[in-house]
Amino acid sequence: MELLRLAVAARWVGVHPGTLRLWANEGRVPVVWVGRERRFSREALDVLTGCPDVAGRREALYVRVSGTSGQESSLAAQEAEL
C-alpha cells in the first residue's frame, strides 16, 4: 500500500489540499496518520474518484512529421522513441 502526502494526494485526485483535508475530517476518505501528517492510500483515492487502478489506465501518444521527405522513417523513429 503506497501512502501519499496531502499535497500529492490532492493532485492525484484533482482537488485543492484543503478540500481533501475536509473530506478526511468528514470521513469520506480514510487517512493514516504518520506522526502529525495525514497520509492517503492511492487505492482509497482511486475508490473515491471512481478511477480504476494504474494497471487499468490508458495513455495516448501523439507523433507527427512535417515536410514530405522521409516521413515514414521519421514517424517510425518517433514511435520507437516513445
Over residues 18-60, the pLDDT tens digits come to 999 999 999 999 999 999 999 999 989 988 888 755 555 567 7
Domains of the chain: 3-81 (1.10.1660)
To the question of pTM greater than 0.85 for the whole model, the response is: no
CA distance 68 to 78: 16
Q: Give the contacts of 31 (CB within 8 A, at least 6 positions apart).
A: 24, 38, 39, 40
**Cell numbers describing residue 20:** 481533501
